[in-house]
Amino acid sequence: MTLSNRLFDEIAVGDTAATKRVVAPDDLYVFAHVSGNLNPLNLPHAPGEDAEGQNVAPSMWIGSLFSSVLGNLLPGPGTVYEAQSLRFHARAEVGDELAVKVEVIERRAPRTIVLATRIERAGTLIADGVAEVRAPEERRVVADVALPGLTVSRHRNMARMLDACAGLDAMPTAVVAPEEENALLGALAGGRERLIVPILIGDEAKIREIAKAHGADLSGVAIENVESHDKAAARAVELVGLGQARAVMKGHLHSDELLRHVVKSQGGLRTSRRVSHVFVMDAPTLPNLLLVTDAAINIAPTLEEKVDIVQNAIDLGRALGLAKPKVGVLSAVELVNPKIQSTLDAAALSKMSERGQITGGVVDGPLAMDNAISISAARTKGLTSLVAGRADILVAPNLESGNILAKELTYAAQAEGAGLVLGARAPVMLTSRADDEGSRLFSCAVAVLYAHWLQTGESAVAATEGKTP
């Protein structure tokens, strides 16, 4: 895009310029951030949400559209605003196409241009006024104008999961070693949102000290004073066995310290199925949740272990509202190569799914990362599959690749993630010690929904078929 300007002597009364702009939801979010105006009337609402009167574009955002015509077209680059009057006659909403027009009505030496300004929607006057600008002093041609793109970070799917928990009972949860800010505040946030009933197990003095430092209220919260992380983990598992807790949440301790007690043969939470971990990722750039497994427990799983890993993830996907989760088994390539073990495992898992050895979902592989989540990449490579380009679940070849993938989604794609251990007698929220309150709250919601599905066989989330082309 190339812009050029007009000097004072080149502008005459009656000269006009115009442009068009469609009101987009992201415009409303960006304006709210820039202006600080958080009026809910001017923020988009979710489809189906009862929000009569919302989606109205802020009037001052509408007024700012004149700036694009004056700064880009008439007089163009180098123009300086001096004054602007505005009167608003109607409201514009998301989806409206607005015609922005200016007309020169006066010239004042040495360089002031007065313009009538007008915005219409299909002939209806939205706003008008008068602008006074100082025309450029020198010729300017600005070539290849390109702004960096903006991504409005919204975690709609996380909000959907939290909303789905509204009608479910809060779940008594043993929180192991909440002896750090994020660990404690995340657990307490889960309690405030009535997702869990936290039972804090750890060094009581540290827990109270952290709560005091951050103004957190511990009234009514059960605290069990336990002197070590090992004993705290053992006690949490014991509470589940006694029926006093229905879930376990990791606090500020190493994962292996907790999992050692979850998987122990006597008094643990083992079932006949292999224990595995799933990251539930909500990335702003993806339309639906993306589940990544296994990125935290099984280091180099065998084919037999991958069967349980896949089945665990499918079960969780169904609990989160996916009617028939689409599972992409990842490798470096999408063709079976006898020299790459992960492609052989992927092919076997796909066939096992076809034969009913893995149930509840559709499994396909091997798939490379691009053609697992990008329909255009899958089409380019000629892949015909129910899963390619539409995967809801990504099965990593090993822990290293799964962990790297999950953290790339978190830190490079601004995904919010929940972490859950599956295959045990109760859900175990296994988050990173660096995870913030939001991530821990998300994990609480996922755990509650999974526990509900285990108990009833039904999802509390409205079922979807996964991604669409």
| pLDDT given for residue 439 in this prediction | 84
> How far apart are the C-alpha atoms of 312 and 393, rounded to whole Å?
11
| pLDDT given for residue 53 in this prediction | 47
**According to CATH, where is 3.10.129.10 located in the chain?**
3-142
Task: Kindly list the strands in the beta sheet with 222-225, ordered across the sheet, starting from the edge strand earlier in the chain.
Answer: 222-225, 196-202, 171-176, 247-250, 428-429, 416-422, 276-282, 290-293, 393-395, 326-330, 362-367
What the block records as the tokens of 301 is 């799983």
> How far apart are the C-alpha atoms of 93 and 95, rounded to whole Å?
6
> How far apart are the C-alpha atoms of 186 and 89, rounded to whole Å?
47
Q: Which residue has the tokens 């909303």?
A: 163
> How far apart are the C-alpha atoms of 448 and 435, rounded to whole Å?
19
Residues 196, 190: contact at Cβ < 8 Å?
yes
**Pairing, β 171-176 against β 196-202:** parallel
> How far apart are the C-alpha atoms of 271 and 10, rounded to whole Å?
82
**According to CATH, where is 3.40.718.10 located in the chain?**
156-325+392-456
| pLDDT given for residue 432 in this prediction | 72
| pLDDT given for residue 45 in this prediction | 63
Give backbone dihedrals phi and psi of 287, rounded to 5 degrees, phi first. Answer: -70, -30
26, 59, 60: which is closest to 43 by C-alpha? 26
Is-cis flag, bond preceding 366, omega within 30? yes
Give backbone dihedrals phi and psi of 101, rounded to 5 degrees, phi first. Answer: -130, 145
Give backbone dihedrals phi and psi of 80, rounded to 5 degrees, phi first. Answer: -120, 125
CATH number of 156-325+392-456: 3.40.718.10
| Distance from chain centroid for Cα 395 | 20
> How far apart are the C-alpha atoms of 218 and 188, rounded to whole Å?
8
Output the tens digit of pLDDT for each of the chain's 469 residues. Answer: 788 999 999 999 999 999 999 999 889 999 999 999 999 888 876 444 444 445 899 999 999 999 999 999 999 999 999 999 999 999 999 999 999 999 999 999 999 999 999 999 999 999 999 999 999 999 999 887 778 877 776 788 898 999 999 989 999 999 999 999 989 999 999 999 999 999 999 999 999 999 999 999 999 999 999 999 999 999 999 999 999 999 999 999 999 999 999 999 888 999 999 999 999 999 988 888 999 999 999 999 999 999 999 999 999 999 999 999 999 999 999 999 999 999 999 999 999 999 999 999 999 999 999 999 999 899 898 998 899 999 999 999 999 999 999 999 988 888 889 999 999 999 999 877 667 778 889 999 999 999 999 999 999 997 654 443 3
> How far apart are the C-alpha atoms of 308 and 358, rounded to whole Å?
8
CATH number of 3-142: 3.10.129.10
Residues 247, 452: contact at Cβ < 8 Å?
no
| pLDDT given for residue 257 in this prediction | 94
| pLDDT given for residue 14 in this prediction | 97
What the block records as the tokens of 195 is 């997702």
177, 365, 369: which is closest to 258 by C-alpha? 177
> How far apart are the C-alpha atoms of 167 and 452, rounded to whole Å?
11
